[in-house]
Structure 1
Amino acid sequence: MNKIENYVEAFSAMIISGLPKIIMAVVTLLVGIWLIKWFLKFIHRRFQRNTVDISLSEFLISIIRVILYILLIISCASMIGIQTSSFVAILGAGGLAIGLALQGSLSNFAGGVLILLFKPFRVGHVISSANNVSGTVLKIDILYTTLKAGNGTTIYAPNGPLANAVINNVSDNETRQIEYKLSISFNTNIDTARKVILAVLESDALILKDPKPVVVVSSLEDSAIVLLARAWTTNSDFWGVYYADLQKVKEALEGNQIILAKKTEVLVMTNHVS
């Protein structure tokens, strides 16, 4: 019985001696929770003012919330005498192991942050990249960007490689340039061919008047003269003008007894008017 009384007295003495620390830790916990909530609201308002993408802002706020609460718990635990050094070491080792296991995902996460932060493209833009990804952007998430390809299939592109690749944003400008490379024989009168092509381009109401369409000699091949025709149109009208005028140019040249050589090419340019 005496042993039990001694244990009770020792436990009571320990509680009494540690009571101020416990009270301080509880107060610190409550105040810390209030400060964290206030800080997160402040960060959220700042993100809204700076028009940070909602996906990026929510993800960053979630990370900040977890980090702040972990630091608060560690601080409160140390205040009541709990050794936190081993706890911190375990967290560090766990974080390192997770980081090594998720190297690819972390790369995609970093790429997603860069895409959402610097906005090289947005939802609805038509893009193509150096790593053979192309289509209309449907959604930009933290790890993957979802695109719809021209054939109707859905592409899920990892943000890591996408953020590090050269991206051609077709929709970033209001205008696009159409370029035709047309090969004609050496017997053809160059001025006549130029006038025929220009007449087709200039008669199209959807072709911009400024800058004006141009047709120049691009190069002299072994068996043909290569003419380069350039014209500008709006992004929304591009494909309709592209196909229609290609047919009209061919028919107009043939109507003037000008036959295209086999090396004729059609190029699509995406530069904007400077």
Structure 2
Amino acid sequence: MTVNLETLKASLVIYGLDAIYAAVLLIVGWWLSGVAYRSVCRLLTLTHRVDALVTAFLASLARYATLVIVGIAVLQMFGIQTASLVAVLGATSLAIGLALQGTLSNLAAGVMLLIFRPFRIGHEVDVGGRAGTVNSLSLFMTELVGADNTQILLPNAAVWGQPILNHSAYPRTGDVKVSFPVPAGAPADAIANTVLRELRSDPRLDRRAQPAVHVSRVIDITHADRPVVELTVTAAVKPTDTDAVRQEVLDRVGRLVAEHSPSASAER
């Protein structure tokens, strides 16, 4: 068999140019997919009406759609007809579906999470035995940020198919509870009234809780000559202010106990 070098050379030149064009098209398509992702994010963010979770999902969808269009264009460049390609894909759809059932289930679960939105970006959730803050939702994965700032990637099917405990869905209150012994009698009443008055004016209290501040008394008569009252201060505050309010209550109580101690009374 004889080989026509001129024909072979011409074919190599043609297919070589096609390969170069295809590579350039793939690079441009990859760049365009990034542009589409950023454009959708920017457009939906400007509206201020679309949830960040929906924005990330739609932007990811636009990126993959752009890549699919570029892939079809590359196939057409090599003479592969899309009609025949669709026929081939239709004939092998069963095999592809079986092979990619896990991936397709993740995609379907991602759509369900987007529609029902059991959580939003920034919510603290427990799902699939993992706890963290929701960072993003893509077509196939849900990303959480753990307490130690670790990345947790969960398949959407695992998220949708598991009970979801959302700690941020409803407003929460923090509970401050401080107990301390004080001398019985007038000092106990004075300290309790002062703590109640100062705490009730604190803007960090959760006014929805009833009562927002409460002081209970338990009398210890073990020592009859020196009776003691155990005061317990309970306050409902915002969760982020729990530690700060607790420390302030301890400081106030320490100051008040020192002011009403027998030695301080004797000095006065």
Range into which the TM-score falls when normalised by the shorter chain: 0.3 to 0.5
Q: TM-score, normalised by structure 1?
A: 0.46
Q: TM-score, normalised by structure 2?
A: 0.47
